[in-house]
Amino acid sequence: MKILYTGANGLLGQKISAATPQYSNHAFLATARGKNRTKNLGTASYASMDITDRQEIENVLSEFRPDVIIHGAAMTHVDECEKHKELAYNLNVVGTQNIVDAAKELGAHVVHISTDFIFDGQDGPYNEDGVPNPVSYYGETKLQAERIVQTIDSWSILRTVLVIGIAEDLSRSNIVLWAKGALEKAQPIRVVDDQFRTPTLAEDLAQGALLAATQRAQGIFNISGPDFMSIYELVESVAEHFGLSMATVTRVDSSTLNQPAVRPPRTGFNISKAVENLGYRPHSFKEALEIIAQQAGL
């Protein structure tokens, strides 16, 4: 089986690359805009591919001819999506349409990475049949992308939550690294206690994506960590794990932050469908912190 994945320079993409040696029966092509920024491509080859450029997609796909496309490339910074709607639309909606159109031509299966932010956060944790109602532009674009993916015959949609992990040369940090850095420097930080999530180790999301790809699994699957917690509890766990003080942390509610984009208060996922149907086995949040600490050489 030939598997192409987009967003190879991002956190998820780097973890997929690192996992490719475990799938020796498959050929992999990692793609992202511009040069490869990952030291460890595993067994994958690399090709530059901009998902907003139809001609570039056609050139790459006609040469590699993938059986499955894992589509992880997206604009995921929620506030930036709110501030730069045209860019978010081009990357998250037009980019997905371009990938889906190319997949149709080849008869390829698409594994699309989506988000808990398609929900309004009133009824979390959610099952796969939860009713979407996004409260941010990011959530809107990701829901539109899901609907585009569902127009082809063979697809998986993997919804995930608050992805954490460590990788090379990332364009942005994630909450565990941010919290650890701020606590180490004893920086005053304000942390919300009214947003609840099931944080996801990036390696686990990569595992879910590769399980869905190799099985050409049909349908929607929740792929997240197993532990439901508030953002404040998450930061508390980081402090405890790394032996850091919470003295500089102020507990606040979301209304005090004045962020450009609204966040859904209570998301998180029930992952039993992915566990039973895909064989998905996520790490606990404590195990995730241990893995991150080990990778950071701590």
Residue-wise pLDDT tens digits, 52-94 = 999 999 999 999 999 999 999 999 999 999 999 999 999 999 9
For the chain, how far is it from start to end, CA to CA, in angstroms? Answer: 38
Alpha-carbon separation of residue 238 from 8, 154, 227, 233, 241 (angstroms): 27, 40, 14, 9, 5
Cβ partners under 8 Å of residue 168, min gap 6: 14, 37, 38, 39
245 within domain boundaries: no
Say yes or no to pLDDT of 171 above 80.
Answer: no
Please state the length of the chain: 298
The rounded distance, in Å, linking the Cα atoms of 175 and 190 is 13
pLDDT of amino acid 282: 98
Instruction: Classify 286 in phi/psi space as left (phi over 0), alpha (psi -120 to 50) or beta.
Output: alpha
**What is the pTM assigned to this prediction?**
0.97
Pairing status of strand 2-6 against strand 27-32: parallel
How far apart are the C-alpha atoms of 15 and 42, rounded to whole Å? Answer: 10
213 lies in a domain?
yes
Bridge pairing between strands 229-230 and 196-197: antiparallel
Under 8 Å between Cβ of 88 and 225: no
Residue 13 has pLDDT above 80, yes or no: yes
Domain count, the chain: 1
Q: Is residue 28 a part of any domain in this protein? A: yes
pLDDT digits (tens, 9 = 90+) for 26-40: 999 999 999 999 999
Evaluate whether residue 292 is within a structural domain.
no
Q: Is residue 250 part of a domain?
A: no
Confidence category of residue 298, pLDDT binned at 50, 70, 90:
low
Q: pLDDT tens across 112-164, in order?
A: 999 999 999 999 999 999 999 999 999 999 999 999 999 999 999 999 999 99
- Higher-confidence position of 169 and 239: 239
pLDDT at residue 170, as a whole number: 76
Any idea what the CATH number is for the domain that residue 140 is in?
Answer: 3.40.50.720
pLDDT tens per residue, range 220-272: 999 999 999 999 999 999 999 999 999 999 999 999 999 999 999 999 999 99
Residue 261 lies in a domain: no
Residue 256 lies in a domain: no
pLDDT of residue 168: 83
| Segments forming the whole domain that contains residue 30 | 2-172+200-226+268-283
Indicate the average pLDDT of the chain: 96
The confidence score (pLDDT) of residue 296 equals 81
169 confidence band (pLDDT: 50, 70, 90): confident
The pLDDT, as a whole number, for residue 173 is 75
Q: Which amino acid is at 92?
A: N
User: Which residue is associated with the tokens 């031509």?
Assistant: 105
In a domain, 186, yes or no: no
Provide CB contacts within 8 A for 129, sequence distance 6+: none
